[in-house]
Amino acid sequence: MTLKPLNDLQIHAIDQAHIWHPYSSLSQPLPTYHVTSAHGIRLTLGDGRELIDGMSSWWCTIHGYNHPQLNAAVITQVEKMSHVMFGGIIHEPAAQLTQRLVDMTPEPLSKVFFSDSGSVSVEIAIKMALQFWQAKGRAEKNRLLSLRKGYHGDTFAAMSVCDPETGMHHLFNKVLQQQIFSESPRCRFGEDWQQDYLADFERQLSTHKDQVAAVILEPIVQGAGGMWFYSPDYLEGVRTLCDKHDVLLIADEIATGFGRTGKLFACEWAGISPDIMCVGKSLTGGYMSLAATLCNDKVAAGIGESEAGVFMHGPTFMANPLACAVATASIDLLLASDWQGNVARIEAQLAEQLAPCKTYDTVADVRVLGAIGVVEMKDFVDVAALQKRFVDAGVWIRPFAKMIYVMPAFNIEAADLSKLTAAIVAVLSC
């Protein structure tokens, strides 16, 4: 039976009646925009309008849409097999991707566990840390130390290490595991470092070291919790203190990995390596849902000595061959490109063209790092109203809380990036 295509009105009718979008209410649904296709850095709407995408689909389509090299990787792999269980089976796409990840991430990360989303990769990282200390006979080390204003995902263990008060998940605080929190880093990226910036973190860690299994943080960039960029010296200090107090360090590089900040991984700004690292989002260039949790030999060996003798996790779609194949192609495409030059070009243009927003009475701050440009407002914004104005201006920018920001594909041309920044400057001037 051939399915009849739906027209624009039918799609919106089904959407309004039945579909639950992220962070939305079915009783008061927000407007949505029907996308019919996407090519390069442009989205085509059902009414024929084209929008320049400033969000790279929540930060993952670093090469843009419908890239011929990534399309070819998917087509080639789907003709062999689209999926096979990973229990007791290995396949070439998983082996190729694993080698790429081991080669490109900070040493001595050498072991890779695949999953199908960033939140799950964080769950896995937390589970690794807990199982490691159980194996060491230190079951009392069963809490995480996290940073306020941090964000690590929407599943339960991930929610427990997100900001407990101002974050998106405070409604669940009474049922989440109670973790330990230090103040958000006060040291702005690029500004003079003072050792007392680490004082609260050091106090929390030294006080609770016998309970803390691991510290978890987003290196250099606190993403969905506020788009804050902090000093590499802070991250370097955290690594030193974790070693001093015998605590593992988990780096959540889901948003920052694969070049977004100007380094392949944000940990490189501080020259440190975590014990466990989570990657996702840009891993497949936005083609498939895939994530990975990497660890060093110490963590892997410790888990192997645990009571279970094995790591207790196994997603159904772990190391999906289609996702692994396109992820390998995306990494190869990234490394073969002048990604550093492109990110530096984007950074310079964002800094120059967003600067006028600093003069607006409604704006609290403007900051740029790598291919991330942020205008922070003094008050919370009306997302639906701003969204419509941006669409009317021919761009796709999705604000949240007090943030209007862009994280475009690395291959965006200067003229298109100017349209994004001009839309922000114009819309916020009114």
Is the peptide bond prior to 108 cis by the omega test (within 30 degrees of 0)? yes
Pair of tokens at residue 425: 């400057």
Pair of tokens at residue 308: 């279970």
State the Cα angle at 254 between 249 and 256, rounded to 5°.
Answer: 90
The predicted pLDDT at position 171 comes to: 84
The predicted pLDDT at position 268 comes to: 98
CA 50 to chain centre: 26
What's the number of CA atoms in the CB half-sphere (13 Å) around residue 338?
6
For residues 406 and 372, what is the distance between their CA atoms, to the nearest angstrom? Answer: 6
Q: What contacts 338, CB < 8 A, 6 or more positions away?
A: none
Q: Residues spanned by CATH 3.90.1150.10 within the chain?
A: 8-66+338-429
Nearest alpha-carbon partner for 91 in 102, 101, 82, 104 = 82
Q: Residues spanned by CATH 3.40.640.10 within the chain?
A: 72-336
Active site residue 287: no
pLDDT along the chain (430 residues), means of 10: 87 94 89 97 97 98 98 98 98 98 98 97 98 96 97 96 83 91 97 96 98 98 95 98 98 98 98 98 98 98 89 96 98 98 98 98 98 98 96 97 97 98 96
Q: Which residue in 65, 151, 197, 230 is the catalytic one?
A: 151
Active site residue 388: no
CATH architecture of 72-336: 3-Layer(aba) Sandwich (3.40)
Which CATH code of 3.40.50.1860, 3.30.70.20, 3.90.1150.10, 3.40.50.2300 fits the domain covering 8-66+338-429?
3.90.1150.10
The total number of residues shown for the chain amounts to 430
Mean pLDDT of the chain: 96
Active site residue 23: yes
The predicted pLDDT at position 214 comes to: 98
Q: Which residue in 116, 252, 275, 416 is the catalytic one?
A: 252
The predicted pLDDT at position 1 comes to: 62
Q: Which residue in 8, 23, 298, 338 is the catalytic one?
A: 23
129 close to 295: Cβ distance less than 8 angstroms: no
Active site residue 281: yes
For residues 147 and 198, what is the distance between their CA atoms, to the nearest angstrom? Answer: 12
For residues 332 and 335, what is the distance between their CA atoms, to the nearest angstrom? Answer: 5
Query: pLDDT tens digits, residue range 269-298?
Result: 999 999 999 999 999 999 999 999 999 999
What's the number of CA atoms in the CB half-sphere (13 Å) around residue 163?
17
For residues 430 and 421, what is the distance between their CA atoms, to the nearest angstrom? Answer: 15
Nearest alpha-carbon partner for 264 in 206, 208, 343 = 343
Q: Which residue in 116, 281, 405, 416 is the catalytic one?
A: 281
Helices (H), 136-160: 156-160
The predicted pLDDT at position 303 comes to: 94
Helices (H), 27-145: 56-59, 68-78, 92-104, 118-135
pTM of the model: 0.97
For residues 250 and 172, what is the distance between their CA atoms, to the nearest angstrom? Answer: 23
For residues 84 and 119, what is the distance between their CA atoms, to the nearest angstrom? Answer: 22
CA 376 to chain centre: 19
The predicted pLDDT at position 28 comes to: 86
Q: What contacts 314, CB < 8 A, 6 or more positions away?
A: 86, 87
Q: What contacts 9, CB < 8 A, 6 or more positions away?
A: none
Element (H, E) at 146: strand 143-147
DSSP helix/strand/coil, 407:
coil
Pairing of strands 35-39, 42-45: antiparallel
- For the chain, the straight-line distance linking the first and the last C-alpha, in angstroms and rounded, comes to 52
For residues 208 and 226, what is the distance between their CA atoms, to the nearest angstrom? Answer: 26
For residues 319 and 292, what is the distance between their CA atoms, to the nearest angstrom? Answer: 9
For residues 101 and 319, what is the distance between their CA atoms, to the nearest angstrom? Answer: 13
DSSP helix/strand/coil, 379:
coil
Pair of tokens at residue 51: 């929008």
For residues 262 and 193, what is the distance between their CA atoms, to the nearest angstrom? Answer: 20
